[in-house]
Amino acid sequence: MKSLFERLRARRLASAFVLLATLSAAIVAGSFAAHGVRGQEKQNDSADATPLKVVNSSVPPNEFVRIAQKVGPAVVNINTQTLPKQSANKGRRNPHGRVQPTPQNPGDDEDNDQQQGQGQGNFQDFFNRFFGGQMPDQEGGEGGDDGRVSESLGSGFIVDPKGYIITNNHVIEKADKIYVKLSTDPDSQDLGRPARVIGVDKATDLAVIKIDTSSPLPTVKLGNSDTAEVGDWVEAIGSPFALSQTVTAGIISAKNRTIEPGASGQFQHFIQTDAAINPGNSGGPLLNMNGEVVGVNTAIFTQSNGYQGIGFAMPSNTVVEIYNDLISPSHKVTRGSIGIEFREGLPGAVNRVYGFKNGVLVQRVTSGGPADKGGIKVGDVITTIDGRPIKDGDDLVNEIASRRPGSTIRLGYLREGKQADATVTIGDRDKVFADLGAQQAENNPDEKGDASEAKLGIVVHDASPSTASKLHTQGVVIQSVRPGSFADLQGLEPGLVIIRINRLPTSTKDQFDAVAGKLKIGDDVVFEVIDPKHPDSGLNYLGGTLE
């Protein structure tokens, strides 16, 4: 008789055999089934399958379709070429085709400590994210040191059948050649039709260019951006990443966005949108549901050099004013000024002590300027213009800048808590600021740097010993550059080190001031500069004729 252990063992072996046999059968069956499919040894019968057909039904076009068809022919590709030249801008490449030095960051070196508070670092970094330039793997827009021609890409739109086109200044800035390609032009290697610059306005980053045409061109109408509302649908058309006639849609996310503080952003009050816009869209139209332009796509905020849902467009009402000035005989924008300075964001205690809620506290008056001649003094609080209450500094600047030089306004102001009025004649903003610079130089004859700031638009300081040691030479460090100034137009940037001007050494600030103080209108001015962030790039030459 078998033992209990032997019986249990036999039973387990039998169970295992049954399990293995079952698995083997399943595997064999699966193998035959698979072989039958793959090997097509079984007859595949699809006689019962019904062929597919395209449904011949029509979908009524929505508003986006209608607008794209209507406006698309008036939206153009803008290609620019910049010939090879030496450039000091060898650091970070911004997306619109200019190569700029990497902004200073806290703790880089001693010179950076002296730049703190100048408003350059964070906001220069932001504007390095302007879109409208070439693809990330292309060269920068100022020409390469390797002798290659640099190319960049943007968009624009035709507003006059004679060939006048609106775009962004940064799309065509410093370009040696500009080409425009229409949607009807052949899609070939040809860059397009040659264009010339009619006028630019750096303060709003707008430009007008023109192409010659033998027949009227399609145009787009400018709408009223003031009536646009947050939440309104909008449509953008442009050439992102060289993909022409790309249409995207979104809504107006916000209005009156100022993205750069101080004087640089005084005339930049953007429409914010979440319509997808990317590098190459810059200068293209933002359209309302009537197919009218309510903005010119100008900037994006991004951490990836691409769309992240935050874009900015210059409002059409501003665009119309700038365009009309740029096509005038002077081809420039003339803005009014009364020759005062003030500071935004004053503490509430200041308002309470000076007894005002809304208005502008005057902190500086240009001697001999319009406000000075009208009797305005430091400490006055401007509260009204021609009887209309003034909310803040932006309101004051916008109102006065829109007035023509020579016209008069009635200013209401508080002085020592008492209400008073003054009649002031508007001056030309450019001339008023030039007079202010000359006045500062005259009032501070020992500070010749003020004279150089007025002439060149640049403030410098002596390089620290560590910087001089790193560069193996002496020079002065650029602390700030006034937007639109001679230095700005030549490509000088904060952080660069100037070692010579017109071959004369500028080893110290005193030497720099002495050389700059002798410059006059009509002189050729050449700066020899080094970028301390990229000292291996060597000496670079920037310059032009002082106007």
Please give the radius of gyration of the chain, using alpha carbons only, rounded to the nearest integer.
33
Domain boundary among 407, 430, 453: 430
pLDDT at 291: 94
Quick one: what percent of the chain has pLDDT higher than 70? 75
User: Which of 386, 407, 430 corresponds to the end of one domain?
Assistant: 430
Contacts with 414 (C-beta within 8 Å, 6 or more apart), sequence order? 354, 355, 356, 359, 380, 381, 383, 420
In this predicted structure, what is the pLDDT of residue 386?
93
What pLDDT is stored for residue 438 in this prediction? 54
Q: Which of the two residues, 443 and 193, has the higher pLDDT score?
A: 193
The answer to whether position 43 is within a domain reads no
pLDDT over threshold 90, residue 109 = no
Residue 136 has pLDDT above 60, yes or no: no
Domain membership of residue 117 (yes or no) is: no
Same domain, 384 and 238: no
Range ranked top by mean pLDDT from 79-88, 125-134, 230-239: 230-239
User: DSSP of 224-274, one letter per residue?
Assistant: -GGG--TT-EEEEEE-GGG-TTEEEEEEEEEEEE--S-GGGGTT--EEEE-
CATH assignment at residue 185: 2.40.10.120
As a dihedral over the C-alpha atoms of residue 432, residue 422, residue 425, residue 383, rounded to 10 degrees, the angle is: 60
Same domain, 322 and 353: no
439: confidence class by pLDDT, cuts 50, 70, 90 = low
Answer yes or no: do 302 and 374 share one domain: no
Q: Which of 6-10, 25-29, 471-475 has the highest mean pLDDT?
A: 471-475
As a whole number of angstroms, the longest Cα–Cα distance in the chain is 131
The two three-digit tokens of residue 273, written as one number: 């949108």
B/e letters for 86-97, b = 16+ CB within 10 Å, e = fewer, are: ebbbbbbbbbbb
Q: How does pLDDT run across 242-268, given as a tens digit for each residue? A: 888 899 999 999 998 887 766 666 788
291 and 143 part of one domain: yes
Taking residue 58's Cβ as centre, other Cβ atoms within 10 Å add up to 6
Same domain? For 315 and 343 the reply is no
Question: Total structural domains in the chain?
Answer: 3
Q: Inform me whether the pLDDT recorded for 133 exceeds 70.
A: no
503 found inside a domain? yes
Find the mean pLDDT for residues 55-60: 85
Give the list of residues 6+ apart from residue 271 with CB closer than 8 angstroms, or none. Answer: 225, 228, 252, 254, 255, 257, 286, 294, 295, 312, 313, 314, 315
CATH number of domain containing 398: 2.30.42.10
**CA gap 9, 230 in Å, rounded:** 82
Question: What phi and psi values does residue 337 have, to the nearest 5 degrees?
Answer: -155, 155
Question: Do both 466 and 541 map to the same domain?
Answer: yes
Domain end call among 430, 461, 477: 430
Residue 494 lies in a domain: yes
State whether residue 366 is helix, strand or coil: coil
- Asked if the structure places residue 151 within a domain, the reply is yes
Give pLDDT, residue 518: 87
Structural domain range at position 456: 445-545
Q: For 364-377, write each residue's pLDDT tens digit.
A: 888 888 999 999 99
Q: Which pTM does this prediction carry?
A: 0.62
Average pLDDT, integer, range 198-226: 95
Q: Is residue 57 part of a domain?
A: no
What value does the mean pLDDT take over residues 14-22? 49
Contacts 24+ apart (CB under 8 A), 439-443: 439/366, 439/367, 439/368
pLDDT at 33 over 60: no
Residue 345: inside a domain: yes
| CA angle, residues 155, 156, 158, in degrees to nearest 5 | 150
Comparing 534 with 376, the larger pLDDT belongs to: 376
Yes or no: say if 128 and 137 are a contact pair by the CB < 8 Å rule. Answer: no
Catalytic residue positions, numbered? 170, 205, 282
d(CA 288, CA 524): 48
322 and 343 belong to one structural domain: no
- The verdict on 239 and 274 lying in the same domain is yes
Same domain, 190 and 296: yes
Q: Which helix (DSSP H) or strand (DSSP E) does residue 207 occupy? A: strand 206-211
In terms of pLDDT, which residue wins out, 302 or 473? 473
Looking at the fold, whether 208 and 260 belong to one and the same domain comes out as: yes
Same domain? 424 vs 510: no
Q: What is the share, in percent, of the chain residues with pLDDT greater than 90? A: 35
Residue 299, pLDDT > 80, answer: yes
Q: How confident is the model at residue 97 (pLDDT cuts 50, 70, 90)?
A: very low
Q: Is residue 529 part of a domain?
A: yes
Give the model's pLDDT for residue 210: 97
Q: Which long-range contacts (CB under 8 A, 24 or more apart) does 28-32 make?
A: none
Contacts (Cβ under 8 Å, ≥6 apart) of 85: 142, 143
Q: How many CA atoms lie within 13 A of 128 on its CB side?
A: 21
Average pLDDT over residues 27-56: 68
Query: 308 with 261, same domain?
Result: yes
Any bridge partners for residue 82, and if so which?
A: 150
